[in-house]
Every structure is written in C-alpha cells, then in structure tokens.
Structure 1
C-alpha cells in the first residue's frame, strides 16, 4: 500500500474531493486493520489451554494486553470473541474479511444470546457499536432465579472529593456494630466535655464556643473505632497483611507441620514463612525440645521500601497492587537475607505458582528474572515489531450508515428452540495462508 499523494497543481482540488480521497484511504486501512484483528482473534482462540504455565498470566485478556501492548478493555474484546468463536462464525468471518470492526464483533460476543450469529451479522453491517448495544439489550432474557437472601457486604463508590462506603449487615452483627459505634461516640463526647465545656455562669461562654472544636459526630466515632482496631492489629502484627504461622519443625528429618494441622511440603513451608509472623517449635522424635522466638520476617519499614521501589507484582504481565506478599528470592532457610536486594513483591497467585514450581523467580532484585515452566524468561516488552510482509488482502471497510435507528420498526432477536439451534450449527475453519 502506498500513501496517497496529490499531484502538484497550480490549483488545489476542491475540499470535498480531497476529503473523499482521505476517506477512501481510511476505508482501505480500516479493512486491513479489521482483517488483522480477525487473525489475532484466531490466534487467541488457538492459545486456549496453552498460555497458563508458560506466562503466569491470570487470564487470556491479561496475556493479550501484555504481549500486544494494548489496553485491558481492548484485550477483553479479543478474548471474548476468541472464547465464542464457534458460536459466531459469520460475524468472525466478516471481521476476518474486513467488513466488521473488532468493537462491533466484541459487543456481540460479550452480550448476545446463543444462536444470534446470523441476525447480528446482518444488523451489524449498518449499525454502530452503540446501536448494537441497544439492540442486544432488547433481547428477551430467561427468567432469573429468585434472589438469595441479602448477605453481609461492604462496597464503596468514589466521588470527586469524597468516598462513600456502604455496609450491609445481618441484624445481630448490625446490633454489635451499633453498640461499638455508640460506645466510641459517647467516649468522644465525654472527652469533648472534659476539655471544652464552659461554665454556664461565665459571661464570655459565647466567645468560647467560637473557639471550640466541632461537637463529635458519628463519622468521628466510626474513625475512632477503625483506629482502635488498627492500633490493636499493628501491635499484634506490625504489617497486618498476613497471619501468624505456628510451625512444629522436626530438627532431625526437617519435616514441618502446622500447629494442630497437617504436615507441610517444603514448598508450602517456604510459601507460608515468606511474609508472616512466625512461631516455630523444635521437636525431636515427636517431643518438643524448645521454641524459637516469635519474629516478623518482613518489618513495616522494609515493606514500605519494597512498595516504593516497585508497587506492583514483579511478574511481567501482572499489574496487581493489593494483597502483595513479600517474597525471599533466596529463601531464609537457605541463608537468604531479609533485605531489599533479596526481597520482591508478588501477588498471592504468582507467589503460589513460584512455590509450586510453575514459575521461577531469580535475583537479585536489581536484576530480577522470571522464568516460565520451560525455563524461558518472561519479558516486560510487547511482541510488536515492524512488519516484513504486505498487508492482508481485504476489501475496504464500508463503515456504518450513520443513520439514526428507528427502534419502532426493529425486531429484536428471538432465541430459537434447542432443535433449531442444533440444525443451524456452523463451524469456521482458519485460513491456511496465515499459518
């Protein structure tokens, strides 16, 4: 493909003609892009079941976002089409031929009902993405099962200047919460009165009221309740992210077991003691012979330094930021030191994968390497590179009509019966020329 150029003329062509030439080129490029997206969808479908142990990614969408350098939302559309590629063969074929865009087919694959391939293939030819979303909403949905009893929940919504928390509790737990909140509220009121209550006989008490802090409110009591629990938790466990682990370790056979629990494998023992408050009891022939002091392997200050250095999971392709575990690259049982160069943050999913042997984390932290199950190094970079071949042969993308949809005359898709679904089954075979 060559870039369109206008010949040197004394008089430029009219604006409408120049715009038409640019539109033609856009149509040609959009068709080629759609065809490329169609091939990416086919490749993603072929990855099913192959990518887990070789990449450490949690989902196909996460893998595509990492390796394509794309946004997660864009990658979710590719993954949704790949997962339902057999249900929508006509729409995928139109994408591969450049006649539908990835966003159009992605909306269909994410939300449309089974057996609607032919219906939406015809409708999407002239429908925009927003019109497709509305058409899918008009589909009749099966009757929903009765809603279960409301469960305890905590949710939040973030505004421009405030954050709103919503707490739903059963009646008994709600009474307990209310009693605790009331107790802290009354304590705040008592402190306020002791520190700022003025003598009613004082003629200047109105001036004193102007200098007083606000009267304690329920939000103040709630924050006091949170801080009291936080202080107690910090005293018990300096970091508070993990639990206290009580181990019984046989010094002769080097076999460990949880207190009143099962025996642990070497991998589980190292996983539990990577970032926790540890209490170890030493045994010989099943009899306790002593105990080690209760220690915290990762201090609060060291944890803050780790988060400042790299706030996300260290495995390439994973952007997790919450609930991270501090992992010893060289385990402390093998002489590894609890210092920055020997520590790295991993999410629980990848931390467990490492101790199960599915991925390998090598250090030091300044030259960290992560290997998959085959020993290949995972890179933070994408797979994008300069193309060496010509663009795919695809018809120009016609685009949508741009007209307003008259929903009064639109007939929503009606799911067929099970027998009709079996008779209308169609499969799509990948083109050999791409392989």
Structure 2
C-alpha cells in the first residue's frame, strides 16, 4: 500500500507482516478519550478499595492484630505482609485512625469521590465539627489546592495556639523502682534544652528503625530534619542514644580514651546491677548474649574480682555476620542499627560462639526472644528457622496476592473521582481567612 496516497485524515497506527491497519484521527482521538475515561473510572475504584482497606486497617490496628515477634507496629506488619515501605505504612495507619470519627468523609471516600491523596491531607485538619466543609472542599477542589489550603490553615492555627505559659524548670532525676526494679526518670527541662534532646532522640529513633543503608542522594535537608516528628514513646530512642554514646570511643567527660561499659555483679548464680536490682532469668540470658560485658564476682556485697572485659564474638565473626545478615533477621523487622549477635543456643547454656549458632537481632527483637515471644532453631550450615510460641514457622517473606476483578464495584460512577473545579485560581490568603473563620480553633489534629 502506498502511504503517500492515504487520506490526510488517516494515520498508520499498527502493522504486521501482512497488513497495515489504519484509523482516522477522529477515531484515534475517541479511543484515547476512552482510555482517559477508564483511567478516571479505575481511579475511583482504587479510592473506594483504599477506603475499605483503611477501614479494615483501623480495626486491625485497634485490636493489635499485627502484634507478633519482630513486629514493632502495624506499619511493620504492613511492610512485611503487604510489601509497603515503613513510611507508607505509618501514613496509612495514621489516616485510618483519623477517618474513624469522620463518617461523612469516609462515605465520600468509599464512593470514590475523594482520592487517598485528598483524604490524607484533609484528615490533618478535619474534625467532626468541620467535617462537612472539608468534604465539600475535597469534592470541589483539585488536590494541589487542598494541599495549599491545608498548609495555610495549619499555619494560622499554629500561630494562634502558640501562646502558652512558660513552665517552671526543674532538674531531671532518676531512681530504681523498689517494687519492679525498673529504672525511672522524672524531671523537667528548659524549652531550648528539650528541643535539643528531642532533635537527638528523633535522629536516634530514625537510626533505630533504619532498614536500609542511606545514600547520599537520600540525605535529608535541614528543613526535612526540622519537620520530622519526635517519637511519642522516647524510651527506645533514649536507649538507642545511650548505645551511640557508649560506643563513641572517647569519654569526653574523663578524657580517658575508653568507651563506656556496663558492669554486672555475679552473685549466687544471679546477675545484679551495681546499686540496682537483680535481673530476671530471661534478662540475664539477654545480657550474657551481648558482645560486651564485664562480670564481677562478689561475696556479701564485696567485690572479689572485677573480671576482665570479654568480647563474646570476635571482630572477624561480627564482620561476617554483618555481611551475611545485614539487618535484624526476625521476619518483618529488618532494622539495620543497634544489632546484637545472638546465640541461638544460649551462651549461658553452653552455646558455641560460631556462625552456625550466631544470628543478628535488633535490641527489641533480642529482648522479645529472651522473653519467650518467639524461638529460633539452628538448622545447620548457617540456616535458621523462626517459630511462633505455638511452634508454627514464621514465613520470612510471605507473598502478596490480589484479585482486581473482585474489587470492581458497579455503584462507583466513572467520573466520581473528578473534582467539580471550574479552573478558578486559588487566592490563598482570602480562602484561608474565610475557611478559618468558620473552623473550630482546635481543628488541627496533626
């Protein structure tokens, strides 16, 4: 066929060895338009399916269905079971919780009228009192305008709520709880000192939860570091910060050139912290698994022998473990910082210090194992198997499966996801002022 003689309203769009198929420009435009309609229809279906997903996730998290060995949060469970990053998992959990008291927003989401991106942003400012207005904004405005409006509302609300009375400042003190043996910290610091500690704790928590090595391109900016949210429970981060300081190499307080170490007294087959409580059997086993310790023999509270500092695993063994494991091996965890070399057959029970009996665990998983929340079996040749308390094998990487056809719902309109926006520009200051005047002053949740 001579393509030069084709109608100018024709285009060659496909051909094989035998024939050339042609389609008019108008037909091609219609075909492309149909693709656009299907994309919008599927976006609405995805939004509806995501709404169902988040409803189930809120119930699942509330009932702690995710709890298990190596699983530190619902986000960790999502990372393990559903193949999500921890950041994505945490955001899904936050949105799922925020939607529970917002039935109108949840309904619009379930009907495919609001995308997940819009819902994620709106839940940061929506409350039961302003929910109706937030849903209307979500239906009418494009996602980019909602992002700007939400940021403006939060800024205005933060400025108004920033009038708080400066608290009194006290010292921070500690003591051992006589009943439980716990270490108790209590006190108050000046705001500027607290800000410095929170910044360090936030970094320590990020390091503690790291599951991959950072690249130079992924290095956060100063603004991103400042925007990071400190952990609600600072205990694990405080312990991580102590581990960082303990291995710093130089004691700046004494300039002795030695890193900090912990001494445990060995009395009558028990381990005791100097000036503190006796450790339980499980805690003693955990201490004996650590790479660095010093055991002091005592009699009648008198130190007979301080003992030498022992390193249970050699430098070469630790290097080999880092190459082999690279992270906490507990299924669903994957943390890469503050790892312990755990003896699968406990060191205190005669377990050998070799690679067939050593495995890397993070501090949280190490403690959970010694408290009986899961077990590990050495299979030989440096192979290991994790088990639940009922003996069932924990799959290190369960496969994910989906059935898209079963998710498609006939009651979702093809254009449900398309906003009712007429193309008007956003006058941010005026819009924020108008919306803020009608908002509850406690509307900003996050």
Higher mean Cα deviation, 383-392 or 272-281? 383-392
- Give the Cα separation in 2 of the matches to 1:85 and 1:91: 7
- The structure that has the greater radius of gyration is 1
Which residue of 38, 41, 57 maps to 1:25? 38
Alignment coverage as a number of residue pairs: 345
Structure 1 position 416 matched with structure 2 position 440? yes
Contact 1:53–1:372 (CA<8 Å) still a contact in 2? no
Alpha-carbon offset, residue 330 of structure 1:
1.2
- Give the Cα separation in 2 of the matches to 1:404 and 1:320: 48
Alpha-carbon offset, residue 383 of structure 1:
5.1
Alpha-carbon offset, residue 104 of structure 1:
1.5
Alpha-carbon offset, residue 280 of structure 1:
2.6
Contact 1:369–1:377 (CA<8 Å) still a contact in 2? yes
- Give the Cα separation in 2 of the matches to 1:346 and 1:297: 15
Contact 1:111–1:136 (CA<8 Å) still a contact in 2? yes
- Give the Cα separation in 2 of the matches to 1:306 and 1:234: 30
Alpha-carbon offset, residue 113 of structure 1:
5.2
Structure 1 position 248 matched with structure 2 position 266? yes
- Give the Cα separation in 2 of the matches to 1:55 and 1:91: 35
Which residue in the other structure is 2:141 paired with? Answer: 127
- Give the Cα separation in 1 of the matches to 2:87 and 2:96: 14
Which residue in the other structure is 1:261 paired with? Answer: 276
- Give the Cα separation in 2 of the matches to 1:233 and 1:62: 41
- Give the Cα separation in 1 of the matches to 2:67 and 2:93: 18
Contact 1:249–1:280 (CA<8 Å) still a contact in 2? no
Alpha-carbon offset, residue 306 of structure 1:
1.2
Q: Deviations over 1:333-357 (max 9, x none)?
A: 1121112221122222222211222
- Distance change (3 Å), C-alpha of 1:46 and 1:309: same
The unaligned stretches of length 5 or more in structure 2 are 1-13, 15-19, 167-189, 204-213, 223-247
- Give the Cα separation in 2 of the matches to 1:159 and 1:283: 50
| Structure 2 counterparts to residues 205-354 of structure 1, below 5 A | 236=258, 243-250=261-268, 254-282=269-297, 293-354=308-369
Alpha-carbon offset, residue 93 of structure 1:
1.6
Which residue in the other structure is 1:391 paired with? Answer: 407
TM-score (norm 2): 0.66
Contact 2:70–2:365 (CA<8 Å) still a contact in 1? yes
- Distance change (3 Å), C-alpha of 1:149 and 1:333: same
- Give the Cα separation in 1 of the matches to 2:267 and 2:50: 56
TM-score (norm 1): 0.67
Alpha-carbon offset, residue 37 of structure 1:
0.9
Contact 1:245–1:272 (CA<8 Å) still a contact in 2? no
Q: Deviations over 1:203-231 (max 9, x none)?
A: xxxxxxxxxxxxxxxxxxxxxxx88769x
Structure 1 position 56 matched with structure 2 position 70? yes
- SS of residue in 1 equivalent to 2:192: coil
Alpha-carbon offset, residue 266 of structure 1:
0.9
- Distance change (3 Å), C-alpha of 1:138 and 1:15: same
Which residue in the other structure is 2:423 paired with? Answer: 403
Alpha-carbon offset, residue 81 of structure 1:
1.8
- SS of residue in 2 equivalent to 1:370: strand
The unaligned stretches of length 5 or more in structure 1 are 1-5, 166-225, 422-435
Superposed CA RMSD in Å reads 3.8
- Distance change (3 Å), C-alpha of 1:162 and 1:119: closer
Contact 2:263–2:296 (CA<8 Å) still a contact in 1? no
Contact 1:87–1:115 (CA<8 Å) still a contact in 2? no
- Give the Cα separation in 2 of the matches to 1:374 and 1:290: 43
